[in-house]
Amino acid sequence: MKEYDHKKIEKKWQDTWEKKGIYHAQDKSKKPKYYALIEFPYPSGDGLHVGHPRPYIGMDVISRKRRLQGFNVLYPIGWDAFGLPTENYAIKTGKDPRVVTKKNSDTFRRQIKSLGISFDWSREVNTTDPKYYKWTQWIFLQFFKKGLAYKAKMKINWCPKDKIGLANEEVVDGKCERCGTVVEQREKEQWMLAITKYAERLDKDLDGVDYLPQIKLGQRNWIGRKEGAEIEFDNIKIFTTRPDTIFGVTFVAIAGDTDRFTGRYVTNPATKEKIPVWEAQYVMGDVGTGAIMGVPADDERDKAFAEKYKLPIIENYPKAGFEDYGKKVTRFKLRDWVFSRQRYWGEPIPVIHCESCGIVPVPEKDLPVELPKVKNYQPTDSGESPLANIAKWVNVKCPKCKGPAKRETDTMPNWAGSSWYYLRYADPKNNKEFASQKNLKYFTPVDWYNGGNEHTTLHLLYSRFWHKFLFDQGLVPTNEPYMKRTSHGMILGEGGVKMSKSLGNVINPDDIVKIYGADTLRLYEMFIGPFDQSAAWSTESIIGSRRFLERVWNLQYKVEKNKKYTEFKIEKTIKKVTEDIETMKFNTAISALMIFINDLGGVDSVSKDVYKKFLQILSPFAPHMTEELWTILGEKKSINLSAWPTFDENLIKDEEIKIVVQVNGKVRAFMSVQAGDSEEYIKAEVLKKADILKYIEGKNVKKIIYVPNRLINIVL
């Protein structure tokens, strides 16, 4: 009996797949396309830990199934490599971020390839590659030309110790994330993108996409669409969702750093009385119009303010009709996107400042504006980007008047490159445009996009905004970038705590692959728990996944080529795995595979047909071992080129049994179960039935009695 040697098998097939380009998507194909996408990783210096591959494996299972179902699958990979961690490392060590990025991405690539993920590596992109960010800059210029990229003076987060401007995500509890210094507010001109012009569409178009409900809710809450009225108190416009409370207004408050009376009075259009205008700290300048009507009888904050400053409170005031004083308007909480960073490691913003001509876009023929190499990555005393110190790079001729001018020294945020990367995958080697219209028309939109919960609001919103803008310019064929969006839970360290270097609980996938094999790691990560929920890693439990694969391996010695196809239970397993993969219930799909192998434990032989079908439905989870066994069975073509097995509904129906459902001994309903369903499963399912819930809701269930294949009785 030949031993299951994962090291030999996995290396053999990874080399074969790469050599044959078996996972390369074809730009031209008679097959229907399927575009599966993950959020491309940030290549950190620490390399992968076992939590990182979970989403890659999950979408890989779906991609592999789609290939067997006859699709031309695009499942690409790249690197989101600009950003703070690499820059901070460069500041600390003096090492060039380019060198650091290459080293980190090389490590990530090696680790990911060792897991047998079916990425199309021929389409690999890197946001820090000038050939890539040339097109990020080009898209920015399209925003600029349409008036959607502009400069505005605004307050920024400033770290007085590091002498640097910070993005909101770099401020934790009012302190600099890097050094812990209390952050100050400074006024500075910043580049902005006018995402608010797309607020209505960003909200409304969520109706037409298949996103998880919580993802849509997160998007809508951030956009913050509200219908209400705009009421003028002399020259102060106020947006309110409660115009009916106008008779209770006793003051107007505008946003301010301190609470103070302005000395001004305005007329309440309902009562015609003069009311004072105050500045109030609790009024947000970036919400609504930055002014509110104070109704102390109906609002707790207004009441507290009125009591503190002895302002009138009108109880039992008459309610006004909407049409009497309000102009109906729609407002959004969404604010324009702050798009510049005073950093080195980002895409240079491709504009030039000329005293005569103003802000002039860099001519498209001169793109990309490449980041110059520098010796010092330290921020400047003035808070400008380190680029501001490179006089040779900064001082240029104006493209319009040829007079002396200066380059923009702010760089783009790391959100920029990730807002459109999925489009570049369609045509990554194109030097003439960000992607050809032909390829975009074939591959987009993305059919299924999975990513982390932390990116389902801002990244998704920004990306949808860029896509809609490009659609309006006739540069992409669809209004939305992603048709389906799902999320995954994290893999935690042993005991349920987050994996981190400081806790010393980080587990390197290299170690697991070496000891147990990539297929074991893949299977375990999909079996560890519901895919959309966090789960704690257990090195002890991974042994169960390895033993299961060994049982599948050893089953080859029970195969009889001439045995007739009699094991009809494979039909039920095929149905279960087929359906569970589509709903990302990977753990229950694997459970069904394990149950099937257990059922075969006592048989003397198994038919080749049954074993082949089993290998096909296992292959998305354990591609290396199933490919090897497929070959051992005498198949000449790769299992990846075979067809996903179908199932016979008639055979499954033969296994369906109708049982009686009783409540306190009285027949209340009937329920269909499958022969072989566990007692625990049936007991759990009966409590979900709508026609049973009405009898037990609000009552205490003492026990549930199950008579196999006959009845179930709920005792209250």
Residue numbers in the known binding site are 501
For the chain, give the longest Cα–Cα distance: 98
Token pair 């102009």: residue: 327
State the burial class of residue 37 (Cβ atoms within 10 Å of its Cβ: 0-12, 13-18, 19+).
buried
Distance between CA atoms of residues 414 and 344, nearest Å:
11
Cα 298 to its chain centre, rounded Å, is 40
Q: How many residues does the chain have?
A: 716
SS (H, E, C) 138-162: HHHHHHHHCCCEEEEEEEEEEECCC
DSSP string, 618-664: HTTTSHHHHHHHHHHTT--S-GGGS-PPP--HHHHHTTEEEEEEEET
Amino acid code (one letter) for 363: P
Q: Is the distance from CB of 536 to CB of 493 less than 8 angstroms? A: yes
Q: Is-contact 105 404, C-beta < 8 A?
A: no
- Extract the tokens encoding 442: 């074939």
Which are the contacts of 597, defined by CB distance < 8 A and separation ≥ 6? Answer: 548, 551, 552, 555
**Residue 449: beta bridge partners?**
37, 485
β pairing state of 251-255 and 274-280:
parallel
The one-character DSSP state at 444 is P
As annotated, the binding site for ATP includes: 501
C-alpha to C-alpha distance for 631 and 639, rounded to whole angstroms: 8
Write a three-state SS string for 419-437. Answer: CCHHHHCCCCCCCCCCCCH
Strands 484-488 and 210-211: parallel
Tell me how far apart the alpha carbons of residues 480 and 461 are, in angstroms, rounded to a whole number: 11
Location of structure tokens 């210029």: 141
Parallel, antiparallel, or unpaired: how do β-strands 395-397 and 327-332 relate? unpaired
Say how far apart CA 130 and CA 347 lie, in whole Å.
9
Find where tokens 């115009």 sit.
Answer: 243
Listed residue (276, 281, 287) closest to 249, CA to CA: 276
Is residue 136 within 8 A of residue 424, CB to CB? The reply is no
Query: Which tokens sit at 64?
Result: 């592999």
Residues 247/269, Cβ–Cβ less than 8 Å: no
Tell me which H or E stretch contains 524. helix 518-527
What residues contact residue 338 under an 8 Å CB cut-off, 6+ apart? 154, 156, 167, 190, 191, 192, 413
DSSP H or E segment with residue 13: helix 6-20
The Cα 213–Cα 486 span in angstroms is 10
